[in-house]
């Protein structure tokens, strides 16, 4: 029996030892220079593209992921005095002012920025560089609207009509980034004084509220696998093509589409920046140029389901076919968002949830 106990202890020690060895041991000699990129959990890219970039510049790119946009930015601000990375990718226009106020970025004007439309360049000192954009839009269940012979809403006002009673599920702006974006769209449409009236009316029209995107999409939305009760959900403009790409059986058509009326979608722009204190500014600048280059920009849609800011980049066919890009998406000044985020959310909570 004692032997058995010793044996268990031995195995335990062995496992502990092995797990310690499993940690990578970088060798000293001849390693390419390391470039650390801090980003959110949704970041993705093709392996081959990154490998090519590493080879051409004799670099090793290390990615550091930590949660969603908010937690990445928090992490960067908290570690400002001893930066964890050279580059930060993923700050969006809702968090931009907060990031700029914290003074964590070095200015860099990439030559590739010339081609990028002005509407995406939100910092005149180029401390951050736009990489991609995406729209938070309401998706609707095409089969449901066809079957009921119901016209789709054309504007935010339409959502208040009795025929759409109880048909929309949204996310709580306090806990979800698309939820916040959609609330901001209503602020853009009705103004900071008027958006609450819209929400009062929407509440009366029995809007369903959940805390996060997964629940809204997979549980409440009727066109997803959850076959829920609401045929409209706040999601992304890229969700319909993604449904086709990730269908488990080939589909002839996207089961969903986006509502792209005026101010119904909120445009999120994502930025990259060089962190102050980086020891590797040269390599970091190369990485930003690389992110704006055509191959990387064309890789974006199918990796992260966002749209390229480089006008030369071609969209994949499935995006051309199934993604609608709104003609007049809602926009708000990031300074204004930064100053009012908490106030707007708190007021919204009182009106919609209490």
Interacting residues with other proteins between 247 and 286 (CB under 8 A):
247-251, 255
- Cβ proximity to other proteins: between 29 and 327 the closer is 29
CB atoms within 10 A of CB 342: 10
**Applying CB under 8 A, which part among 181-189, 205-213, 258-266, 267-275 lies near other proteins?**
205-213
DSSP H or E stretch at residue 12: helix 2-22
CA distance linking residue 66 with residue 276, whole number of Å? 19
Q: Are strands 266-275 and 105-106 parallel, antiparallel or unpaired?
A: antiparallel
- 218, 324, 347, 351: which one binds other proteins (CB under 8 A): 218
- Two tokens, residue 282: 């040269």
**Applying CB under 8 A, which part among 109-117, 182-190, 193-201, 206-214 lies near other proteins?**
206-214
CA distance linking residue 182 with residue 195, whole number of Å? 11
Q: How many residues appear in the chain? A: 354
- Cβ proximity to other proteins: between 32 and 67 the closer is 67
Nearest alpha carbon to residue 92 among 337, 346, 340, 312 = 337
- Cβ proximity to other proteins: between 158 and 192 the closer is 192
Tell me phi and psi for residue 38, to 5 degrees: -95, 135
CA distance linking residue 130 with residue 114, whole number of Å? 12
Q: What's the min distance (Å) between Cβ of 229 and other proteins?
A: 5
Q: Which parts of 30-89 interact with other proteins (CB under 8 A)?
A: 36, 41-48, 50, 62-68, 70-71, 73-75, 77-79, 82, 84-85
Q: Which parts of 122-161 interact with other proteins (CB under 8 A)?
A: none
Q: What's the min distance (Å) between Cβ of 67 and other proteins?
A: 5
- Cβ proximity to other proteins: between 80 and 262 the closer is 80
Q: What's the min distance (Å) between Cβ of 184 and other proteins?
A: 13
Q: What's the min distance (Å) between Cβ of 86 and other proteins?
A: 11
Please name the residues in contact with 329: beta carbons below 8 A apart, sequence gap of 6 or more.
135, 185, 263, 265, 266, 267
Q: What's the min distance (Å) between Cβ of 48 and other proteins?
A: 6
- Cβ proximity to other proteins: between 120 and 236 the closer is 236
CA distance linking residue 82 with residue 99, whole number of Å? 16
Q: What's the min distance (Å) between Cβ of 204 and other proteins?
A: 16
């Amino acid at each position: 029996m004692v032997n058995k106990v010793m044996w268990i202890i031995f195995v335990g020690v062995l496992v502990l030892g092995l797990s310690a060895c499993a940690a990578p041991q970088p060798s000293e000699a001849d390693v390419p220079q390391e470039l650390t990129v801090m980003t959110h959990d949704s970041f993705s890219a093709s392996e081959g593209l990154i490998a090519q970039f590493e080879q051409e510049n004799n670099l090793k790119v290390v990615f550091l992921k930590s949660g969603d946009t908010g937690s990445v930015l928090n992490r960067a601000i908290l570690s400002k005095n001893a930066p964890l990375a050279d580059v930060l990718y993923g700050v969006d226009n809702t968090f931009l002012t907060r990031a700029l106020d914290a003074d964590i970025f070095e200015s860099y004007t990439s030559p590739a920025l010339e081609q990028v439309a002005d509407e995406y360049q939100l910092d005149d000192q180029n401390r951050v560089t736009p990489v991609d954009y995406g729209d938070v839009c309401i998706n609707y269940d095409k089969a449901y609207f066809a079957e009921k012979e119901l016209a789709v809403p054309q504007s935010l006002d339409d959502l208040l009509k009795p025929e759409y009673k109880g048909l929309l599920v949204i996310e709580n702006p306090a806990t979800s980034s698309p939820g916040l974006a959609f609330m901001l769209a209503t602020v853009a449409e009705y103004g900071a004084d008027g958006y609450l009236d819209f929400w009062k009316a929407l509440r009366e029209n029995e809007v369903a509220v959940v805390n996060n995107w997964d629940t809204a999409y997979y549980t409440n939305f009727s066109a997803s696998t959850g076959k829920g009760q609401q045929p409209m959900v706040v999601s992304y403009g890229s969700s319909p093509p993604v449904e086709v790409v990730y269908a488990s059986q080939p589909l002839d058509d996207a089961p969903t589409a986006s509502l792209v009326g005026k101010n119904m979608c909120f445009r999120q722009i994502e930025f990259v920046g060089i962190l102050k204190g980086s020891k590797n500014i040269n390599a970091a600048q190369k990485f930003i140029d690389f992110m704006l280059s055509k191959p990387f920009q064309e890789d974006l849609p199918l990796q992260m389901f966002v749209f390229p800011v480089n006008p030369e980049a071609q969209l994949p066919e499935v995006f051309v076919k199934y993604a609608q890009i709104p003609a007049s998406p809602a926009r708000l000044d990031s300074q204004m968002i930064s100053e009012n985020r908490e106030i707007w959310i708190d007021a919204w909570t009182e009106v919609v949830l209490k």
